[in-house]
Structure 1
């Protein structure tokens, strides 16, 4: 495994992080309005870290950049070669105690593709991580971070493009190895039926397989490595089954948490209901540390699926039929989204259109084929050649595996800049052509890809009322969850300057084009940018003020921080990377 070079905390590991990789201790006097960093005189001593390690039964880990195996002084040929092969994929990062997916926050401070003599700094990686095994471990970490005045972060898989798993000089709570799953008959005041308890390290690929063996299915993400109990559900959580059962946050029954002051609680609609409300859609890692959750599961059965692809001819005269067909698809979604359970992920580039993952519970391939017939007729009318494949499978896990090659982890590139926007139904009704014009402009130079995820997660589908949880209200009117993607490939020579310029272009040029055709909508916070100027409205909408009051009640010292979490405006990040109170 890529992380085999990393050992559980030893004396050298303590010293290495305490003084920094350069082994130079710089005096830096700061007040307690700012968190301490390793170069500060006030940074905890080696003996204090050792005491924390003892209190968590030796599960404290010294954070180190994975790519140090590619540096001359610590070179490990086989490990370096393996890391280079997988660096832009999810695999190495979710298995590491302190690494994470966001290339912006990793900041290229220690790349495996740099020269063997290049610097290898910690950058925004946490300095230490506790390999959490219990509520007591979490409480110990919270207590240490508070008393020693150091930043605290929470990491499950690190699947977070907003960098909430990052934190220079932080102590990280690494939840990834809490991965028990159990199914049972739930009896509660609001629900009687089958349910699953998942601990915080459970990932989608494992949950789907376990559910399939039980003859049930559950709402989860598209990416097989996403953790289902952390920022995914706390951000709302969409996926292939959401149009049938509602979002992940609509199906949660209980959370097991440790609060900022160290209390170990179960929260639900009847126990600490305000905290339960906030955890269901109010933003990841921000109100309490989640150890496990109980969520509804549903009887499994046949699932229909499909792919459909057509390309734009190189002849300029062929461009308009291509883009007219994109518009026709978006209008056709008005009908398809009205059908319970229909969902499709499609991709548009400057030369192709592809439905790459259509999911329709309860439908045979013949029924899927029939429902797509009106759209195929539009393509035939424009003399557009296309390729379509339809399928059905006896259960959801088999369907998911069919459309997700390379399980258990898949082949998802995670080094990317990502922006997003929820496209409401009214846009498809009144301005589908305008949406196509925006997509055409965004993709025209070939660098950006547009992904559409058709979605109907209205309250009628979810079976709840407005305000039932903290899910962004704009989701209930959305027909498409859009995201704009630019992959970043350091192995091909992409530079940090290119990454930073793309981040700015995403916010200033690309996302606004989708905003123009979707006024008064919002954005899925887990697929947006951390520095979106309108983050309060776009990620939380009318829920923000209520969420802030809950945040102040359960985390009055604002110990849980992340961009763009509720309450992050109470902090500012300084030039040297430390957090200070605003």
Structure 2
């Protein structure tokens, strides 16, 4: 299988960046070579005030003076996602600020941030851990290009950080240079967007790499449009979410985030004689004068490849909105008309069905998961997405009216009634309608401050996941095997019990025209998946190295129960840090071609990250992993 635009895109992206620098590379080592003073001088000369010179660990003020007003502010905001993602050195999950191998860290007690035990050792106990030494506040293409040149010249490892919402540590690394893309906040809506090389216009949104979901969803609300997004308000719309695939409750109908992409703007080098920004659109034709009909444009869009060494280069993405109902774009806009030739359908109402209860009960959880397993193919094919935890089921659709939604979910609502009649504590069911996606998202996915409502941040986590295919729901026996595996994977007593979530967010009901199968690097298993199952363990600031390794091992072994009854497939953004057979799990049969292209255009691994395509596990940047 050939992945369109791959060779062209990587040749222009990585190859051009390599060609712009001198072949003599100054080796970099944390123990020798180029001195920090030389690096700061060179960075300042090249980037000016976009070099962030005093980036310190998020919690450092509390180690300097635990009774200061600055520390009080840090303690108050310690579990606040928006506060963390707005800081260059702020990470959602604590361990990626630390060096897990050596214990170097600067963390507070995430459960009680005011606990003095975490800071009583004083300023000298606050270590940088795996926070990059150098940060560039990226404000445009020239900064990205110059950073690649600088990394090539000096050998300093590059990492890319947008929000720091990363379960695998790819946005941090000791002794590295970080490209902080958080401030690339431009977002625009064009009701008549035409991708390069195409003739038809569609409603589209173009967003910078720093736009987060709480901003994107508010923008969509203001423009009466719908965007595919995740469940966490502070995750970036582009970057890792899109390049990894990107899933949410609307994905069963609208596809993965990457399926909606019609253009990306990678900033990596000169195109032709002097241009420094280039576009990768659905079709790059040898004859630039030949226009491509809309059917081919749509079938060949989505040329993104997730070796995360790709997304670092893209400063903006353009997304297709709603269903593609093409209209011909005028060759030149009419001076007498202020309206586009057409406009998208309005954002659709959102129907929500919720069933929940209060007390933990393995028997009630198993009954719920048996019921969902029995009906989920029918529901997902009808356009329902959603989530289930041991005491909760939440389903969402834009395809039905409120009455139709209640009828469709009758088996689930009936089970809730049975629980209520049996006196199950807190058992309840709700059928709700929201006028658009944002009110639903605000009500169910965020807290009063607009942060993710599913839980706080600042703690350290071990996440594992699995994509579960249709075959697992084909027969009573296969469904029983799956539910038994899920129950076994979550059957650990508190306080070590993992947080398991069944996510019905695969593109099960998306129309072929809305997808890009074979055109992206996401594992083909997404196209046959029904569940994306995640399980999370956690630890606090004072965990020992042995205890941390124990959490990683336990969460992975628990997920082995599900691995045994499903194929090798996992969503790389939310996968086990030590995912077994990760090449097959993350990319499936795409991997050999991806690896070949990676080595052709980036043989020096200028762009490298943990368990990414063609990665170098011996790199110094990984010394803090266990």
Hey, what does 1:67 align to over in structure 2?
A: 59
Residues 419 and 144 (structure 1), Cα distance of their counterparts in 2 relative to 1, 3 Å cut = same
Residues 322 and 228 (structure 1), Cα distance of their counterparts in 2 relative to 1, 3 Å cut = closer
Give the deviation of 1:458 after TM superposition.
4.2
Hey, what does 1:111 align to over in structure 2?
A: 107
Contact 2:350 2:397 in 1 (8 A): yes
Give the deviation of 1:495 after TM superposition.
5.0
Give me the whole-angstrom Cα distance separating, in 2, the residues matched to 1:525 and 1:408: 26
Match among 383, 386, 396 for residue 344 of structure 1:
386
Residue range with higher mean Cα deviation, 303-312 or 223-232: 303-312
Give the deviation of 1:375 after TM superposition.
2.5
Hey, what does 2:171 align to over in structure 1?
A: 165
- Asked whether 1:453 is paired with 2:453, we answer no
Residue range with higher mean Cα deviation, 470-479 or 92-101: 92-101
- Asked whether 1:421 is paired with 2:466, we answer yes
Contact 2:209 2:315 in 1 (8 A): yes
Residues 288-327 of structure 1 aligned to structure 2 (within 5 Å): 289-298=313-322, 299=345, 300-310=347-357, 320=363, 322-327=365-370
Cα deviation digits, residues 276-312 of structure 1 (max 9, x gap)? 9896352434465111011112241211112211356
Residues 462 and 575 (structure 1), Cα distance of their counterparts in 2 relative to 1, 3 Å cut = closer
Match among 194, 203, 215 for residue 187 of structure 1:
194
Give the deviation of 1:435 after TM superposition.
2.0
Give me the whole-angstrom Cα distance separating, in 1, the residues matched to 2:353 and 2:538: 26
Unaligned runs of 5+ in 1: 1-30
3-state SS of the aligned residue for 2:357?
Answer: strand
Give me the whole-angstrom Cα distance separating, in 1, the residues matched to 2:577 and 2:199: 35
Contact 1:286 1:551 in 2 (8 A): no
CA RMSD of aligned residues (A): 2.8
Match among 248, 254, 268 for residue 257 of structure 2:
248
Give me the whole-angstrom Cα distance separating, in 2, the residues matched to 1:284 and 1:487: 25
Residues 285 and 87 (structure 1), Cα distance of their counterparts in 2 relative to 1, 3 Å cut = farther
Give the deviation of 1:44 after TM superposition.
3.9
Cα deviation digits, residues 58-86 of structure 1 (max 9, x gap)? 110133212221123x6562222332343
Hey, what does 1:471 align to over in structure 2?
A: 522
Give me the whole-angstrom Cα distance separating, in 2, the residues matched to 1:272 and 1:61: 41
Give me the whole-angstrom Cα distance separating, in 2, the residues matched to 1:313 and 1:146: 54
Residues 369-388 of structure 1 aligned to structure 2 (within 5 Å): 369-378=406-415, 380=417, 384=422, 385=424, 386-388=427-429
Give the deviation of 1:230 after TM superposition.
0.4
Residues 205 and 313 (structure 1), Cα distance of their counterparts in 2 relative to 1, 3 Å cut = closer
With the length of structure 2 as denominator, give the TM-score of the two structures.
Answer: 0.78
Give me the whole-angstrom Cα distance separating, in 1, the residues matched to 2:532 and 2:120: 40
3-state SS of the aligned residue for 1:526?
Answer: helix
Cα deviation digits, residues 376-408 of structure 1 (max 9, x gap)? 334556765431122111111122112123253
Residues 499 and 114 (structure 1), Cα distance of their counterparts in 2 relative to 1, 3 Å cut = farther
Hey, what does 1:36 align to over in structure 2?
A: 29
Hey, what does 1:335 align to over in structure 2?
A: 378
Contact 1:459 1:476 in 2 (8 A): no
Give the deviation of 1:514 after TM superposition.
0.9
Give me the whole-angstrom Cα distance separating, in 2, the residues matched to 1:306 and 1:96: 37
3-state SS of the aligned residue for 1:390?
Answer: strand
Give me the whole-angstrom Cα distance separating, in 2, the residues matched to 1:279 and 1:87: 38
Contact 1:423 1:482 in 2 (8 A): yes
Hey, what does 2:115 align to over in structure 1?
A: none
Give the deviation of 1:499 after TM superposition.
2.7
Give me the whole-angstrom Cα distance separating, in 2, the residues matched to 1:290 and 1:313: 45
Residues 365 and 100 (structure 1), Cα distance of their counterparts in 2 relative to 1, 3 Å cut = same
Give the deviation of 1:89 after TM superposition.
4.3
How many residues align? The count is 529
- Asked whether 1:208 is paired with 2:254, we answer no
Hey, what does 2:623 align to over in structure 1?
A: 577
Give me the whole-angstrom Cα distance separating, in 2, the residues matched to 1:554 and 1:142: 14
Contact 2:189 2:206 in 1 (8 A): yes
Give the deviation of 1:421 after TM superposition.
0.4
Give me the whole-angstrom Cα distance separating, in 2, the residues matched to 1:313 and 1:52: 55
Contact 1:181 1:198 in 2 (8 A): yes
Hey, what does 1:222 align to over in structure 2?
A: 231
Contact 1:343 1:358 in 2 (8 A): yes
Hey, what does 2:278 align to over in structure 1?
A: 265
3-state SS of the aligned residue for 1:540?
Answer: helix
3-state SS of the aligned residue for 1:265?
Answer: coil
Residues 160 and 81 (structure 1), Cα distance of their counterparts in 2 relative to 1, 3 Å cut = same
Give me the whole-angstrom Cα distance separating, in 2, the residues matched to 1:75 and 1:147: 41
Hey, what does 1:50 align to over in structure 2?
A: 41
Give me the whole-angstrom Cα distance separating, in 1, the residues matched to 2:279 and 2:138: 18
Hey, what does 2:328 align to over in structure 1?
A: none
Residue range with higher mean Cα deviation, 320-329 or 160-169: 320-329
Residues 392 and 255 (structure 1), Cα distance of their counterparts in 2 relative to 1, 3 Å cut = same
Residues 175 and 465 (structure 1), Cα distance of their counterparts in 2 relative to 1, 3 Å cut = closer
Unaligned runs of 5+ in 2: 1-23, 99-103, 109-117, 287-299, 323-344
Give me the whole-angstrom Cα distance separating, in 1, the residues matched to 2:261 and 2:174: 33
Match among 443, 452, 460 for residue 410 of structure 1:
452
The higher-RCO structure (CA 8 Å, 6+ apart) is 2
Residues 378 and 359 (structure 1), Cα distance of their counterparts in 2 relative to 1, 3 Å cut = closer
Residues 379 and 358 (structure 1), Cα distance of their counterparts in 2 relative to 1, 3 Å cut = closer
Hey, what does 2:553 align to over in structure 1?
A: 504
3-state SS of the aligned residue for 1:264?
Answer: coil
Give me the whole-angstrom Cα distance separating, in 2, the residues matched to 1:574 and 1:79: 34
Contact 1:288 1:554 in 2 (8 A): no
Give me the whole-angstrom Cα distance separating, in 1, the residues matched to 2:235 and 2:62: 27
Hey, what does 1:439 align to over in structure 2?
A: 486
Hey, what does 1:22 align to over in structure 2?
A: none
Residues 537-548 of structure 1 aligned to structure 2 (within 5 Å): 537-548=584-595
Give the deviation of 1:510 after TM superposition.
1.4
Give the deviation of 1:419 after TM superposition.
0.7
